[in-house]
Copies of this chain bind each other. A is one copy, B any other.
Amino acid sequence: MSVDFNTVANEFCKFYYQQFDSDRTQLGNLYRDQSMLTFETSQLQGAKDIVEKLVSLPFQKVAHRISTLDAQPASANGDILVMVTGELLIDEEQNPQRYSQVFHLNPDGNSYYVFNDIFRLNYS
């Protein structure tokens, strides 16, 4: 019955980035009212504001590539912490930008939602 946290973390991130890259207006299902997003220096709370922010990002085409993905159980309640480092390809840019992202996933019935989400580009 209980699914391994590594499997959940991998499947969640795969789904999240596929959804982000194909149609980010649909990401709201993965957040709740209490969810938080830090995107670079912007801070948002709640599925509605979070999706509005993600949709407003100034690019049309985007592709995430995961470089590393590490997960740990984050409490006795089934929470999962995931840290991703990866590359972001935007529009017609040839050079990917590196990023780091953390998701704190909370269980919700048979599924999970994002409680915390912190995203930073890695400037060099």
Contact = CB atoms under 8 A, between A and B. Distances in A.
A97 to B, nearest CB: 11
A51 B3 CA distance: 30
Q: How many copies does the complex hold?
A: 2
A59 interface: no
B122 A72 contact: no
A118 B75 contact: no
Contacts of A67: 122-123
Interface string A22-43: 0000000000000010100000
Which residue, A79, A102, A123, has most C-beta atoms of chain B within 10 A? A102
A50 interface: no
Interface in A26-74: 36, 38, 67-68, 70, 72-74
Contacts of A83: 83, 100, 102, 118, 120
